[in-house]
Structure 1
Amino acid sequence: MKHQEAWKYFGMAASAAMVFFGLRQFAPAYQVRQFKKNPQVTGGYLESLERETLYHIGLGDSVARGYGSQRKGFVGIANQLLEQKLNKPFHLENFGKDSITSDKLLSMMTEDHMQVSIGQADIVTINIGGNDILKIAMGKGPMEVITAFRAIKNSYHENITEIVRQVRELNSECIIVLNELYNPVPVTEPHYSASVKLVDIWNAVLYKLAAKDPKIIIIPSARLLLASDRDTWAYDEIHPNDNGNEKMAEMMVQLLLTPPPGRQGINIAERIRKSRRRFQTN
C-alpha cells in the first residue's frame, strides 16, 4: 500500500467516526486533556534498581520497530538516553514488526520467547493501533467504512487492554510505556479536522489504562508531532524521521526520570513547548 493511500484511508475512517457517532463521541478529548495536565511519572524507580544491566522491551508496529530511522526509532533512542543518564547498560530487545495490528500483537504474546523477555523487563514500551485505523477503510466503500468503524474501534480497545493486562500478569513490577497515536494527515487534506478527533478517540483508551496503573506512562506524541510542522519530523507520509523519533524518545525519558509530584512537579505543557522550539530552530 502506498503511504499516500494511507492518508486517504486514515481520513475516511475519521469521517466515518463523525458520521456514525456524532460529536458527542469525541468527549474523550476532554478526559485526555485533563490527564495530560498531570501525567504519571516514574522518576526514582529505575534509579533504585541495583542490577548492573536493565532490560527494555519494545512491542508493536513499524513505529515501534523504528522504520525510517537510522537510530532504531524512538525506542532505540530512548534506550541510548537512559544509558547515558543512568550510567548503566540497558539491554534492548525490540519485537516491533511492520504493518501489524493490535490483534496480531496480541497473538504474538503467546510466544514463549516474548513472554520470557517481558517477564524480565524493567521497561516495556508499546506502540500499536495505527494499522487498526487503516484497516477500517482499506478496500471499502463509504457505507462499509461507517459500518466497520465501531467493530474495529471496539476490537482495538479490547486488544490493547488485554495486551497491557498480559504484560502486567507476566511482570508486576515493570514500567509500561504507551505511545499515543499521532496524526499523519496534513492540514491541507480534506479529512484533516476529522482525523484530529479520531486520534482523540483512539488515544482515550490509553489514558483509561494509565488511570488504573501508576506504573504506566504515556508519551503525548499527538502534541509532539504536529501536522503544522510535519516537515521537521516526517520521514514519509506516515512514519517519523530521526527528529520525530528523538522528540518522542526525549519525552519518554523525561517522564521515566521525573520524580512524582510529591517530590517535584512536572509541567508537561512547558516541556512540549521547549521540545517544539528546539526542533524548529534545528
Structure 2
Amino acid sequence: MKIVKSVLILILFLGIGATAWFYYPHYQIHKMKNDSMEVGKDLSRETYLDYYRQYSKQDIHHLAIGDSIIHGFGVDETENLVYKFSNQLGHEINKTVHYTNKGKNGMTSTGLNEMIKAGLLDEAIKTSDIITVNIGGNDVLKTAKKQDYYGAVKSFDTLQETFTKNLTEISMKIKEINPRATIVLLELYNPLPADHQFSDLADSLLPKWNVNIYEVAQQIPSSIVVQTTKVINSDNPQNLSQDGVHPNSAGYTAITTQILKQFSKEYRKEAV
C-alpha cells in the first residue's frame, strides 16, 4: 500500500511539473504583453504611432536586419515585410519612411551577432529611427537538418541559450550605438500544419523560446515584440508560401497589420 501511495504521489508531482513546464512560459508572455499595454496615470505617454507622428523629423529611417523573413524570401520587393511595413507606416504617420533591408537568407543569431560585433552595421544603426530584427528560426532549422527533429528537440535548451545570448548582445549593441531607436523584435512562429506529427511538440516548445525574446525586450525601454504567432499559425495556412515555412505576400501583409496594430496600442518608453 505504501508503494502504491508513493507511486501516486510521484505521478502527481510529475504531472504538476509537466503542467508548470508547459503553462509557465504562456503566463510569462501574457504578463509581459499586458505590461506593455498598460497606460498608467502618466497621460504624457505616447503610442508608437503618436510618437512618430509628432517626431521632429519628416523623414523616418527604417533598418531591417536578420534572416529570410526580413529579406523577403519568395516574394517581390514590393511584397515583402520591410517594404510593406515602411510604406504603410508612412501613410499612417503622414511622413516618408526610407528603408534599408539587410536581411540575408539562412542567417542565424550567431551570424548576425558576429556582423554586429564586427561593426558592419554601425553606420546604418546610427542613422535609423526604427530597427526591425527577425532572427532565430534558422538556429532551429539548421540543427534539425543536421540531425533530425528529435535531435533538435534534444538540443533545444542549448539552442535556446545560444539564441538568447546572441539576441541580448545584438540588442544591447544596437542600444549602445543608437539609444533612441525603436527596436522591433518578431516572435518565432510555428509554420507546421495542425496534422503534422511535430506540430503539437512545436507548439509546446515555442512559448519557451519566445519568452526569451520578451525578456530581452524588457531590457530595452524603446522596444516592442510583434506577436507574429497571432497571424502565422496552423489556423492561417493562407499566409504561408508553398514551401510551408516562409510567409507569402498575404502573410507579410498580415504581419505588417499586426505590427501597426501594436504600434497603435502599445506605449513607447523613452530610453534613459
- Compute the TM-score of the two structures, normalised by the length of structure 2: 0.81
Write the mapping of 1:36-185 to structure 2, written as runs, cut at 5 A: 36-40=33-37, 41-70=47-76, 71-140=78-147, 144-185=151-192
Deviates more, 1:115-124 or 1:197-206: 197-206
Equivalents in 1 of 2:180, 2:80: separation in Å? 25
8 Å CA contact 1:234, 1:240 repeated in 2: yes
The corresponding residue for 1:30 is 27
> Deviation at 1:90?
1.2
Equivalents in 2 of 1:200, 1:217: separation in Å? 17
Residues 31-64 of structure 1 show CA distances to partners (whole Å, capped at 9, x for unaligned) of: 1122234535524321222223111000100001
> Deviation at 1:257?
3.8
The corresponding residue for 1:278 is none
Equivalents in 1 of 2:148, 2:83: separation in Å? 39
8 Å CA contact 1:43, 1:255 repeated in 2: no
Aligned Cα root-mean-square deviation (Å): 2.2
> What are the ranges of 5 or more consecutive residues in structure 1 without an aligned counterpart?
1-20, 262-282
> Deviation at 1:111?
4.7
> What are the ranges of 5 or more consecutive residues in structure 2 without an aligned counterpart?
1-16, 38-46
> Deviation at 1:22?
5.6
8 Å CA contact 1:59, 1:96 repeated in 2: yes
Structure number, greater radius of gyration: 2
8 Å CA contact 1:42, 1:215 repeated in 2: no
8 Å CA contact 2:49, 2:92 repeated in 1: no
Q: How many residues align?
A: 240
Residues 238-268 of structure 1 show CA distances to partners (whole Å, capped at 9, x for unaligned) of: 001111111111121232244639xxxxxxx
> Deviation at 1:84?
1.1
Q: 1:199 to 1:146 in 2, by over 3 A?
A: closer
Identity %: 27
The corresponding residue for 1:276 is none
